[in-house]
């Protein structure tokens, strides 16, 4: 009498059922993970990559620059600027790079917390200059340290025929109650 094989034989239909079940479980888990990312994104706590720099219109370019400036994303702010504005971005980048690694780490955490939500640009007035450049005056609106934030802003933008770039910008008065007393690591002027 021949010895019996110790291998387990599973009928082919059962193998197909088990494989299909595993695929369905995987798809269900993946869709649940995607849904939880969408919910986190709705609450403003998503760690997804920042929105791309949009230079298609003066308003979108100014808002992209504003958001990058607030988040100290020097790469994005540089990509959205030219002239005097880009010089200020480069000066700010150089100042940040001169910080010790420990100071940079601490301040980076503070900057990230302050800039957790995107600022929106509300344009009050738009003027076309003789040079073809456009000046936008309005307010930057959002939250700053979990408080409503509204501040006057002005941008001058230049078109290179393919995109709009911030050439100059200035921050004006803070119009909201975001002039909060906070520690010296995060003064209200840090948004600049």
Using alpha carbons, select from 134, 124, 118 the residue that is nearest to residue 175: 124
Task: Encode pLDDT of 17-69 as tens digits.
Answer: 444 444 444 444 444 433 333 333 333 333 445 567 999 999 999 999 998 99
* Percent of the chain topping pLDDT 90: 44
> Residue 63 in contact with residue 121, Cβ under 8 Å?
yes
Residue 188 pLDDT > 90, yes or no? no
Q: What are the C-alpha distances in Å from 77 to residues 19, 61, 89?
A: 49, 10, 7
Is residue 21 situated within a structural domain? no
Token pair, residue 2, equals: 């021949």
Mean pLDDT of all residues in 133-152: 90
Is residue 74 situated within a structural domain? yes
Token pair, residue 68, equals: 């990058």
CATH number assigned to the domain comprising residue 64: 3.10.450
Domain count, the chain: 1
Task: Encode pLDDT of 65-83 as tens digits.
Answer: 998 998 889 999 999 999 9
Cα distance between residue 78 and residue 90, in whole Å: 8
Task: Give SS3 for 165.
Answer: strand
Question: C-alpha angle with apex 137: 134 to 140, nearest 5 degrees?
Answer: 125
Is residue 179 situated within a structural domain? yes
> Residue 81 in contact with residue 41, Cβ under 8 Å?
no
Is residue 36 situated within a structural domain? no
This prediction's pTM: 0.65
Domain around 151: 58-191
**C-alpha 100, offset from chain centre:** 25
Cα distance between residue 158 and residue 34, in whole Å: 39
Is residue 24 situated within a structural domain? no
Is residue 113 situated within a structural domain? yes
């Amino acid at each position: 009498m021949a010895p019996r094989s110790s291998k387990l034989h599973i009928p082919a239909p059962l193998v197909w059922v088990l494989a299909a079940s595993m695929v369905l479980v995987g798809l269900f888990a993946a869709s649940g993970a995607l849904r939880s990312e969408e919910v986190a994104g709705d609450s403003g706590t998503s760690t997804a990559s920042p929105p791309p720099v949009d230079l298609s219109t003066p308003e979108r370019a100014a808002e992209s620059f504003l958001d990058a400036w607030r988040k100290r994303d020097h790469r994005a702010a540089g990509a959205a600027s030219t002239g005097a504005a880009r010089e200020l971005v480069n000066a700010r980048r150089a100042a940040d790079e001169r910080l010790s690694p420990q100071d940079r780490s601490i301040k980076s955490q503070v900057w990230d917390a302050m800039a957790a939500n995107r600022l929106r640009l509300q344009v009050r007035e738009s003027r076309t200059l003789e040079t073809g450049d456009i000046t936008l005056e309005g307010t930057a609106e959002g939250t700053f340290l979990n408080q409503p934030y509204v501040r006057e802003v002005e941008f001058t933008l230049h078109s290179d025929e393919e995109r709009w770039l911030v050439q100059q910008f200035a921050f004006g008065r803070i119009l909201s109650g975001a002039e909060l007393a906070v520690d010296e690591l995060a003064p209200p002027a840090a948004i600049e």
